[in-house]
Every structure is written in structure tokens, then in C-alpha cells.
Amino acid sequence: MAILIDVSTRVLVQGITGREGGFHTQQMQAYGTQVVAGVVPGRGGGETLGVPIFDTVAEAVARTGADTAFTIVPPAFAADAVMEAAAAGLPLGICVTEGIPVLDMVRATAFIAGTPMRLIGPNCPGVMTPGQAKIGFIPNHVGRPGRVGVVARSGTLTYEVIQGLSESGYGETTAVGIGGDPVLGSTFVDILPLFADDPATEAVVLVGEIGGSDEERAAEWIRSSGFDRPVIAFISGRTAPPGKRMGHAGAIISGSTGSAQGKIDALTAAGAAVADTIEEVVRLVGERLAP
């Protein structure tokens, strides 16, 4: 089984005619993802990469039955694009755009809260259900169908964890990159219950980083919910000095808030195994999945 996306997912791409949009659409098509529509205002009626283009999301949904939006448009337009997709009733949106103004995302997430949409991102690598579908940047070759759910704030570390699990024979049910911006559509606490409801997911790898309190909230959810799958965690940015932003816009330590040690302590107290390296993540997964 899987969460969020599978072989039946029908994707529309907002920004399909852009350089990045076109490239990643081709990668998704090569993986087997059903890309059924593109949305580019002013270019409706055309076609690219064998995909029809529409002026609006609402028209694309009505004509193609698309159920998921992949938003890959410039930062100035991304929040409006996400809200358009939500207004059209799509249940899932995945936005990979980096550099969206924080106030734009505050406005967008408030709007989305009143719609059926679950938003993943922005500034995220996307979602992959190995062997079925991928939406976003996760390289096609790294995933293998398997038994481990992955949820991560970091893009590159997501790829490394997936590849390590795949090469070791454990594979993934679904890998979800939630992104590292200060304002996100979905957090760890939004994704973990989906894995809890997926019988194929036998363990979860959680990849966090310094900044914010998402990992601490995830630890509290794991503890209070009685989550019965092993959780293996990795926290990046352990050597970052307080007050210095590292990588993602949300990866900044302010005083004692958002420190790596605080996150490690919270997750350990909740029963998660916290690894020091990606290699150790894979080893700990193997120990907990061993018969």
C-alpha cells in the first residue's frame, strides 16, 4: 500500500512549460506517473510533452479528472497557484517552489484550511511511492518498493535515506519531503498518522533538522498516540551555531528553541531511535525489522 499518491494518481502541472517544469514533468512521466494536464494562463488549447494545456485549474480538472496539483512556478506566483488548485477542489497539492515570501504562505495556508486540500511543501522535494508514482524532484532511481515510510524536512538527505534503505533491501512504502520553510502545508504530525493507518508501513524514518519545533511536536504525537511502529530519526545541523541560518529558511536556532539536542532528547524520550549518521539510520531500521 502507500500514502498520498499511487499508480492511480492523476497529476496536473502548474508551470509545465517552464524549463524546470518541463524537465521534471518528463522525469515523472518516465517514472510512470500519470501527468494528465498542464496549467499555464494564456496558453490554454496547446500541448506540451503530450499533455494538454489549460488556462485554469478548474478547467483542467473538469476536462481530465486530475486529482493532484504539482506546483512548480516562480515564487511571486506560487502562493496564488496553490490557492487556485485548492479552490478547484483538488485533495492534494505538492509545491516545490523555493523562496516564496512568508506572508504569501501565511495567506495561502489560511485559505487552504477551508478547502479539502492537503498541501505538501513548499520548498520540498516532493513525494515518491516507489514503483507506482512520484511527484517532484526525488531521483527516479533511488526508491524501491518496501516496508519503511520516510518523512523528511531536508531534500538531499531524503534522497540519501531512500537510497540507503533501497540498497539494503528494506525499501519504502512512500517517501514524503515536507520541506524546510517556516510556514508549511504539512508537518510531521500531519504525515505520521497516515503511516499509522498504512498496514504496509512497518517502520518510519523521520529526518529533521534544526529550527522550529516540528520534531518536538512529532515526538509528543508519537508518545501520546501510542504509535506502534518503530521510529528511527536523524537530526541534521547539529554543529550549527545559535542564530545562524543553515540551509532552509526555517533552519535557524534562536536561543534554546530549535536546537538539535532538544529535538534528539524529545524524540528519544518518545521511544524513537536517533541515529548519528545516515548509515546508522539504515542499520537501526534493519535491527527493528529483523524477524
Residue 283 one-letter amino acid: R
Give the orientation angle of helix 278-289 with respect to helix 155-167, to 10 degrees.
Answer: 50
Give the orientation angle of helix 75-87 with respect to helix 57-64, to 10 degrees.
Answer: 50
Is the distance from CB of 73 to CB of 97 less than 8 angstroms?
yes
**d(Cα 187, Cα 56) in Å, to the nearest integer?**
28
Helices (H) and strands (E) in the chain, counts: 9, 14
| Closest C-alpha to 123, from 112, 136, 113 | 136
Cβ neighbour number for residue 41 with a 10 Å cutoff: 13
**d(Cα 99, Cα 23) in Å, to the nearest integer?**
20
**d(Cα 120, Cα 103) in Å, to the nearest integer?**
17
DSSP assignment, residue 261? Answer: H
- Could you tell me the CA-to-CA distances from 125 to 45, 48, 134, 155 in Å, in that order? 30, 23, 10, 5
Is the distance from CB of 195 to CB of 246 less than 8 angstroms?
no
Q: Which residues are catalytic?
A: 248
Q: Which helix (H) or strand (E) holds 249?
A: none
268 torsion bin: left (phi>0), alpha (psi -120 to 50), beta (else) = alpha
Cell of 142: 533511488
